[in-house]
Amino acid sequence: MSTPASPAVAIRSILPSLPPAERRVAEAVLSRPAEIVTLSIGTVAEQASTSEATVVRFCKKAGFDGYPDLRLALASEAGRSAAEGRDPTSVTMDIGPEDALADVVAKAGAIDTQAIADTVTQLDIEVLARVVDQLAVARRVELYGVGASGLVAIDFEQKLRRIGLPAAASVDGHAALTSAAVLTPDDVAVGVSHSGQTIDIIDPIELARSRNATTVAITNYPQSALASIADLVLTTAARESLFRAGAMASRSAQLTVIDCIYLGVAQKHYGASVRALDETSAAVQDRRRKPTTRRR
């Protein structure tokens, strides 16, 4: 078992799927990681009102060999943060009613930046390469997303079409199902869902898989329902709070993943992609108003 790149990212990714006792352990670790490094497994179990065996089970679910491995990862993360001059507790996600607008801007920028950095760090390059290979040869690519994830699906459609790939985004559950119903083994279906629990994304991906199309999930939670039914899973690492739920940091992280896929596909067809980008740019060139000199 390999230790996750970031213990906090690994723990947050499994948080919704944990039973209550293990979730209490996870929340204790996330709320005071520096303190956990100094505590014995018995103390952590006592503080979380659970057993040492539960702490060990939690550690293994998060991708660690055991409690000592988790402590080592937390200590290493703290060391990296100190070396980079970062204090992970200095900027919180939550925006309070008394926050100045400048503080709101700083928090928004910091959390989006962290979401992108965490996503890139934990992105599975081997799985990414397989997704790129599948999209590069697909007869058709269908993209499913609703709400904020629907905007990501539309952006992905535009990018793929600009380099000549036959792609279409469905942001309505019924449209996604009718799309999935006629897919073939030569097609790829991509479902985008931060939670991985959205029925309007799960159902068409499941239907696409029954049609033997290659299915891809982009989600924040590798143990979600969507991830469990997809052939290939790429995860984001975004945190959301009250004003950001499912809409901001998650969207930035999802856009980072689709940019990586898009660039990988474009690189595989480098010459054709460059020509397609030139041709599509030329097609809309006369739709831009030329700059004019303002008269004084």
Q: What is the pTM of this model?
A: 0.86
pLDDT digits (tens, 9 = 90+) for 150-197: 999 999 999 999 999 999 999 999 999 999 999 999 999 999 999 999
Domain assignments of the chain as residue spans, ordered by start: 7-90, 122-283
pLDDT digits (tens, 9 = 90+) for 216-274: 999 999 999 999 999 999 999 987 654 544 467 899 999 999 999 999 999 999 999 99
Q: What DSSP state is assigned to residue 285?
A: G
CATH number of 122-283: 3.40.50.10490
In which residue are the tokens 């397989």 written? 130
Question: Which distant-in-sequence residues (6+ apart) come within 8 Å of 292 by Cβ?
Answer: none
Select from 171, 117, 162 the least CA-distant residue to 142: 171
CATH of the domain spanning 7-90, picked from 3.40.50.300, 1.10.10.10, 3.40.50.970, 1.10.287.90 = 1.10.10.10
Neighbours of 60 (CB within 10 A): 14
